[in-house]
Amino acid sequence: MNKALQIRVQRDGIVAEGEILKVDSFVNHQVDPSFLNLAGREFYARFKKAGITKILTIEASGIAIAAIAAQYFDVPFVFAKKTESLNLDPDTYETEVYSYTKGKGYQVRVAKKFLLPDDKILILDDFLARGEAALGLVRLCRQAGSSVEGIGILIEKSFQEGAGRIQQEGIPLESLVRIAGFEDGKVIFEQD
């Protein structure tokens, strides 16, 4: 676990009802690029030997994380889209992801030309809880025949099943901050 990131999550994260950790002041609405720089450097330290050719994330909150991490890896990144758009190439890989926050499934898609069989993909996202979004991105890579070399997560809710589901898929997982639970409105972090 990364101590500097943990301290920031502890200081500025807000615990809301329903075991929701709000990080909207520095991660997913207002964004602090220096925080994401620390995260990007740490993702690079953990995956630099994996031969990553491309980073894959999902709009919207993954984009800033991927953009800054991609600078360290010196590779392009691709963000899977949740909305249909006239500007999106019609030839896409698609899969459905269930959102427990929204209580419904939604389609995510990536233009086929941006996921290639010889790509070595690092998937990045802000949160890992049940693993729905991350595993949706894994399915898109498998449709393309791309190899998923790892999944990097900013904040893992270790008391939910996402990490276990990713391990079952045999994919290396690195979560920079791991949360064991919440108590009296405070975050309890996993011990390393």
Positions touching its own copies (CB under 8 A) are 20, 22, 24-26, 28-34, 36-37, 59-60, 63-64, 66-68, 70-71, 74, 76-79, 81, 85-89, 101-102, 110-111, 113-114
CA distance 72 to 91: 30
Residue labelled with tokens 């233009």: 111
Q: For its own copies, which is the closer residue by CB, 1 or 63?
A: 63
Of residues 65 and 138, the one with the C-beta less far from its own copies:
65
Best CA proximity match to 5, nearest among 166, 126, 159, 134: 126
Q: Degrees (nearest 5) of the Cα angle 67, 139, 40?
A: 20
In the complex, minimum distance from the CB of residue 64 to its own copies, in angstroms, rounded to a whole number: 4
* Minimum distance from residue 27 beta carbon to its own copies (Å): 10
Closer residue to its own copies (CB): 53 or 147 = 53
Closer to its own copies at the Cβ: 10 or 25? 25
- 3-state class of 42 per DSSP? helix
* Cβ atoms 189, 43 nearer than 8 A: no
| Residue 68 C-beta: closest distance to its own copies, Å | 6
Of 5 and 70, CB closest to its own copies = 70
CA angle 165, 44, 53 (to 5 degrees): 80
Task: Quickly count: other Cβ atoms within 10 Å of residue 188's Cβ.
Answer: 13
Least spacing, CB of residue 157 vs its own copies, in Å = 14
Helix/strand/coil for 126: strand
Shortest approach of its own copies to residue 165 CB, angstroms?
22
